[in-house]
Amino acid sequence: MRTLRFLIPVAIFAAIAWFLLKGLDHDPREIPSPLIGKPAPMFSLPVTHDLSRTWTPEAMRGQVWLLNVWGSWCAACQVEHPVFNELAKTGELPIVGLAWKDMPDNSIAWLRKLGNPYAVVVSDIKGGVAIDYGVYGAPETFLIDKQGVIRFKQVGPVTPELLQTKLLPMARQLRGS
């Protein structure tokens, strides 16, 4: 009986330790999205630089593109921004900016200061579209194929390494080039 009283807590501790160690195998930035392989949510939002115009993802139909959720208030967005500026110079992969919970004047000032790599920037002031995309926090980036299906989601800044080793190869494959 004494042995059993000793073994039960040891077994429970071993089980908890095993689950904790298994958790260390996972990259915390890789948050699986239930939207991977599904059509990107449709929306219509005002264009940041001309609030009288609206934009919808349907405008990108037939292209492989990135949707980058960012905000002028987001420090991590500043970290990834030079990566997008360099990507935009190549013209290889269009980027649409979703200014999340950001006032248009702040977004415009930020882009003037840091450069504007986006084909278009739309304002999601209330954050409803970001919720539809399952956004946890800025920055988040989605790779969307020609048919409007989400193929990849990056939580956190896009790095040069991620761009070169994952996003661009995936985009080329989706384009068929």
Assign 20 a pLDDT band (cuts: 50, 70, 90).
low
Q: Is the pTM of this model over 0.85?
A: no
**pLDDT above 90 for 106:** yes
- Which of 167-172's residues contact partners 24+ apart within 8 Å by CB, and which partners? 167/66, 167/93, 167/141, 167/143, 168/92, 168/93, 170/143, 171/64, 171/92, 171/93, 171/143
Measured between alpha carbons, how far is residue 115 from residues 52, 141, 161 in Å?
Answer: 23, 18, 21
- Residue 4 pLDDT: 64
Per CATH, the homologous superfamily of domain 31-175 is Glutaredoxin (3.40.30.10)
Amino acid at 87: L
Average pLDDT, integer, range 142-162: 97
**pLDDT above 80 for 57:** yes
- Residue 13 pLDDT: 67
Average pLDDT, integer, range 73-92: 97
- Residue 33 pLDDT: 72
- Residue 177 pLDDT: 66
Q: Which helix (H) or strand (E) holds 51?
A: strand 50-55
Assign 24 a pLDDT band (cuts: 50, 70, 90).
low
pLDDT digit string, tens, across residues 109-125:
999 999 999 999 999 99
